[in-house]
Chain A
Amino acid sequence: MANQEIQVVDKKELSPESAEITRNGVYFTPAVDIFENSNELTVVVDMPGINSEDVEVDLRENILTIIGDTKAEEFQGQELLTEYRTGGYYRTFRVNNLIDHAKIAASMSDGVLTLKLPKSEKAVPRKIPVACD
């Protein structure tokens, strides 16, 4: 496992049918890990190139929405090689477990967003602030 080589995964652009987003620009589907233990659900999202202040996490009516916005950087020069495209990230999930909305924590480090959603009995809609490491 330790010597396994990392695989390249091409970025998937959002298809127009699945994107309910009404913003300009290119949005990609980020790679996500979701795992849970008896106390909480953890969501890990790869969003390289996104500042923590440009991340929006929203959970209402059991729909978790993750949006990462990017400001297009103008570069004066010549593009010699383009292997990846840059843009924002957008993904939604339906969260089945009852989540304690007051205790949701989000943190961003090295282009990876980590969301901790503790399990609970009540479900109240609430915006989640994103903290920067």
Chain B
Amino acid sequence: MTIWEINRDPWLGEFVRLQKNMNNLFSTLNENAPSSELFLKRGRLFPPINVLKDDGNYKILAEIPGVKADEIELSVQGETLTIKGERKPEILGDNVSYHRRERSHGSFQRSISLPEKVDSDKIGANYKNGVLTITLPLDKASGPRRISVSTE
């Protein structure tokens, strides 16, 4: 198909645009870069989280550098998990001048809805090197149940 034929019809022009976009999408996929910017969903809430799921567990990872482990508040209510805390500013003495100030501080709170029922008694949390790892085992009892259909 040559271009001049397509350009005569505005509808066909739209299809060419669509085809181009699809080609771009697939070429990105073929570059073997699963963590490319395209797949990065940007939340605007602190802390940024990564959610993983394996057999029977959800795993939520959050980067919260510079907070003490006992100052992170975690709570679960129903199917909502809430992370709460505060990153305190550096304590400075007198006569201090800043050259750079890129690290932000302040309070944060973030709630995450869990798509399935988790066993809230068995939730584990670990904070190491500024990364919070929350392990949420799925509640086996609330999993899908098979119902047999009887016939008369």
| Chain A contacts to B: CB under 8 angstroms | 1-10, 26, 31-38, 44, 46-52, 75-85, 110-112
- Residues from chain B with a CB closer than 8 A to the CB of A77 are 52-55, 57, 59
Partner of B46, one of A6, A31, A33, A34: A6
* CB proximity of B36 to chain A, nearest CB, Å: 10
B146 located at the interface, meaning its Cβ lies under 8 Å from any Cβ of chain A in the complex: no
Inter-chain pairs besides A37-B93, A77-B54, 12 sampled, C-beta below 8 Å: A1-B89, A32-B103, A33-B90, A33-B100, A34-B99, A46-B130, A48-B64, A48-B131, A81-B50, A84-B48, A85-B40, A110-B130
A38 to B55, CA, bound (A): 56
Partner of B103, one of A3, A33, A80: A33
* CB proximity of B18 to chain A, nearest CB, Å: 27
B43 located at the interface, meaning its Cβ lies under 8 Å from any Cβ of chain A in the complex: yes
Task: Mark interface residues in B23-59 (1 if CB within 8 Å of A CB, else 0).
Answer: 0000000000001000111111111111111110111
B122 located at the interface, meaning its Cβ lies under 8 Å from any Cβ of chain A in the complex: no
Partner of B102, one of A6, A32, A37, A47: A32
Asked if A35 contacts B52 (CB within 8 A), the reply is no
* CB proximity of A49 to chain B, nearest CB, Å: 5
How many B residues are at the interface, by size bracket? Answer: 35 or more
Asked if A83 contacts B96 (CB within 8 A), the reply is no
Interface of B is mostly: loop
| Chain B contacts to A: CB under 8 angstroms | 35, 39-55, 57-59, 63-69, 86-87, 89-90, 92-108, 127, 129-131
* CB proximity of A69 to chain B, nearest CB, Å: 12
* CB proximity of A55 to chain B, nearest CB, Å: 10
- For the complex of A and B, list the 3 residue pairs with the smallest distance between their C-beta atoms, beginning with the closest: A111-B130, A77-B54, A48-B130
Asked if A83 contacts B97 (CB within 8 A), the reply is no
- Residues from chain B with a CB closer than 8 A to the CB of A7 are 46, 104, 106
Contact of A38 with B95 at beta-carbon distance under 8 Å, contacts A32-B103, A44-B103, A81-B51 already known: yes
